Structure 1
Amino acid sequence: MTRRQLLQGIAAMPISFAGVVSATAQGNRDVAYGGTSLPAGIRSRLINNVNGITYHVLEAGFEGPARPCVLLIHGFPELAYSWRRVILPLARAGFHVIAPDLRGYGRSGGTDVTYDDNLQPFTILNKVRDMLGLLSAIGYRSVAAVVGHDHGSGVAAWCALARPDVFRSVVLMSAPFAGAPALPFNTASDAPKPSASRGGNVDDDLAKLPVPRKYYQTYYTTRPANENMWHPPQGIHNFLRAYYHFKSADFKDNKPFALTANSATEMSKLPRYYVMDLNKGMAETVSPEMPSASAIAACKWLPEEELRVYSSEYGRTGFQGGLNSYRVNRDAKYSAELQLFAGRTIDVPAAFIAGKSDWGPYQRAGAVET
């Protein structure tokens, strides 16, 4: 199979939003979680000593030697389990498929972090280092493709940009890649700029709207965010049910369109799971959109048994490991190091995929075009 065929196959493949995988009657005892919903042929493995932590992976296609490898990187709040409908079809196509729980998620290390812990392990370049270390530990010097969804899209993009010799092609899902931050150019004659405050920003402007709002990624950087989602009034299982439903195609108001500017007025048109009411946490934001019992019973892309995998894992670990990545992304101290790659582009074969009802590509004006 060529890289082009691989990319076309992934684009046409149903992911976790369609179709239910039936497990064997006995369940799958080769996995750390989701044993009653993951079919035989998928197994768990713990890989020790990967950039200082232990990594948990789900994999398939490991039986044959010298198979080309595909690396699948999940988003937030997700797990390796999110690739459950993709792993076996890719393995049957001839690939060794590896889907890790990222650092800070699921059964991988880094979940026992607090808000006050060091953020450096959660930088994007350290996650690229994690992926390199994981592949090296398993015995791969390169992969046929790296595929990322949501937050994992950014990790996959940086893998492809930083190490095209290792990551031979890339598929980005839902979240467009804006590229490496630019360095100031041709500024030798400019007057010195004060180091004081740069003035207002979109967060300030959102808070000043007639109905005050805030960007969810800003909220995710705050201390209360983890507790709000980990121990919500409705319970973590119902919180995740409402959250996933609110962002899905089942929520009929998800009819995305491109914004004309990255202004507070334009951003206020985004759904409230992206631009929240200023005085609400995420638990309170999604609670009114809890689907009915009949809608839950009819939900084939996320039945209760599968949702319970997420609620059990996040109920055990909390969300701080994932939230730390948002804190890093919003901290100029960490984004400055990415300027080492200013001007670099992704030059390996690449594809971008998003759902018809997915607002992800439209969070920022011009992101898809970039």
Structure 2
Amino acid sequence: MEVLPDVPLPSSIRSRYVDGINGLRMHVLEAGFETSGRPCLLLLHGFPELAFSWRKVMPTLAAAGYHVIAPDQRGYGRTTGWDPDYDGNLASFRLPNLVRDMLGLVAAFGHKNVDAVIGHDFGSSVAAWCALIRPDVFRKVVMMSAPFAGTPSLPFNTVNGPARSAAVDPVHRELAALPRPRKHYQWYYSTREANGDMHRAPQGVHEFLRAYYHHKSADWPDNRPYPLQSWSAAELAKLPTYYIMDLARDMPATVADEMPSREAIAANRWLPEGDLAYYSAEYQRTGFQGGLQWYRCGTSGAFVPELQTWSGRTIDVPSAFISGKQDWGTYQRPGVYETMQTRACTKMIGCHLVDGAGHWVQQEQPEAVNRLLLAFLGEAK
């Protein structure tokens, strides 16, 4: 078995492996393990991140009396047992199976329920579906940086008029036809080429990730988000190029334009070079395809029928949303931020946009995130 270097963690967090989790050997970071009987918090990272993304949050939550668990999710980091092949088992990455992963992990630690599941970016989607499918286990939910749109609808009242077949979304053709031709990053991430583009980036994985994290952070001065009016090419083209890319460019070329200076890198306190080196070493070792499979499950449309099993269901446990005030992710799908608050979640306690944070809110502003999480956990009953 490959011997990997230690994860650079605070002394109150330990790294361990848990076998037999829905076919996975899951790598987990754990805090608050010193005493038994603590309520559990489950923290779920997004792309392109790892359980390591929660290193600044876990000690404070553990100090407040929680058993805090943060896994490298299926497709990521030091968790093994998933298929890394583009032509492999895509269905294993669909949302209900990711929920099954988390149910297995919680049970393995001897918890019948968790006080809250907290997810960031794509982990926000998994957290939302955990709370929707198994509210008896996941008793509260915090979604971060990616609002929840609700469940997909079933074709309705079609007995006398068959439902229209799902057509290819015309927005992609319209984006490509703009005077400055564009493409949506999630559909780029679904291409066969995307993993190789990033894994073999001309600037190297480390420099690629530095530019990517910078471009989506509050350090990039043009991250000044606002709600878009519609899911249309003209409106989507207002998004930064890390979301709506130039048609002919890949992601490494896109973010290279915004690479911070050496002085800015040296001055970065929320992601110093030593922390970034852990991310880059892990992605250099594994590639990016495991995380990209999640996007493919969404863009293919193949797994929507399964999600329609829960059509009309809402998230009825106490919920909250936290994002960076400088994070375009809140608005990247027009109307979803509002839908989450008005229809998808019935017990939403608060939505918080943290100033001085872009997309990586729990890394950029961990103190503010810790305050908001503890306030939510104390208030939500």
TM-score over 0.5 for the alignment?
A: yes
Looking at structure 1, the residues matched to 43 and 169 of structure 2 have their Cα atoms a distance apart, in angstroms, of: 39
Deviations 1:112-170 (A, max 9, x none): 51111010110010000000001111111100000000000000000000000000000
The correspondence of residues 240-319 of structure 1 with structure 2, limited to 5 A, is: 240-319=209-288
Looking at structure 1, the residues matched to 329 and 169 of structure 2 have their Cα atoms a distance apart, in angstroms, of: 25
SS of alignment partner, residue 75 of structure 2: coil
How far apart are residue 187 of structure 1 and its match? 2.2
Looking at structure 2, the residues matched to 75 and 351 of structure 1 have their Cα atoms a distance apart, in angstroms, of: 17
Looking at structure 1, the residues matched to 189 and 265 of structure 2 have their Cα atoms a distance apart, in angstroms, of: 27
SS of alignment partner, residue 257 of structure 2: helix
Looking at structure 2, the residues matched to 200 and 167 of structure 1 have their Cα atoms a distance apart, in angstroms, of: 34
Corresponding position of 1:4: none
Aligned with 2:25 (options 42, 54, 58): 54
Corresponding position of 1:167: 138
The correspondence of residues 194-273 of structure 1 with structure 2, limited to 5 A, is: 198=167, 201-273=170-242
How far apart are residue 188 of structure 1 and its match? 1.9
Q: Which amino acid aligns with 1:270?
A: L
Supply the RMSD in Å over aligned alpha carbons: 1.3
Deviations 1:323-354 (A, max 9, x none): 00000011222121000000100000000011
Cα distance change of structure 1 residues 200 and 166 upon mapping to structure 2, 3 Å threshold: closer
Q: Which amino acid aligns with 1:290?
A: M
Does the Cα contact within 8 Å between 1:73 and 1:80 map onto a contact in 2? Answer: yes
Corresponding position of 1:114: 85
SS of alignment partner, residue 138 of structure 2: coil
Corresponding position of 2:373: none
Percent identity, aligned pairs only? 60
Q: Which amino acid aligns with 2:141?
A: V
Does the Cα contact within 8 Å between 1:112 and 1:317 map onto a contact in 2? Answer: no
How far apart are residue 33 of structure 1 and its match? 3.9
Corresponding position of 2:11: 40
Looking at structure 1, the residues matched to 216 and 333 of structure 2 have their Cα atoms a distance apart, in angstroms, of: 17
Corresponding position of 2:45: 74
Q: Which amino acid aligns with 1:252?
A: P
Q: Which amino acid aligns with 1:345?
A: T
SS of alignment partner, residue 41 of structure 2: strand
Does the Cα contact within 8 Å between 1:33 and 1:309 map onto a contact in 2? Answer: no
**1:157 and 2:128 matched:** yes
The total of aligned residue pairs comes to: 336
Looking at structure 1, the residues matched to 268 and 201 of structure 2 have their Cα atoms a distance apart, in angstroms, of: 23
Q: Which amino acid aligns with 1:218?
A: W
TM-score w.r.t. structure 1 length? 0.89
How far apart are residue 34 of structure 1 and its match? 2.9
Q: Which amino acid aligns with 2:41?
A: V
How far apart are residue 198 of structure 1 and its match? 2.5
Question: Which 5+ residue runs of structure 2 have no aligned equivalent?
Answer: 340-381
Does the Cα contact within 8 Å between 2:205 and 2:284 map onto a contact in 1? Answer: yes
Looking at structure 2, the residues matched to 199 and 303 of structure 1 have their Cα atoms a distance apart, in angstroms, of: 43
SS of alignment partner, residue 160 of structure 1: helix
Corresponding position of 2:312: 343
Looking at structure 1, the residues matched to 209 and 81 of structure 2 have their Cα atoms a distance apart, in angstroms, of: 22
SS of alignment partner, residue 330 of structure 1: helix
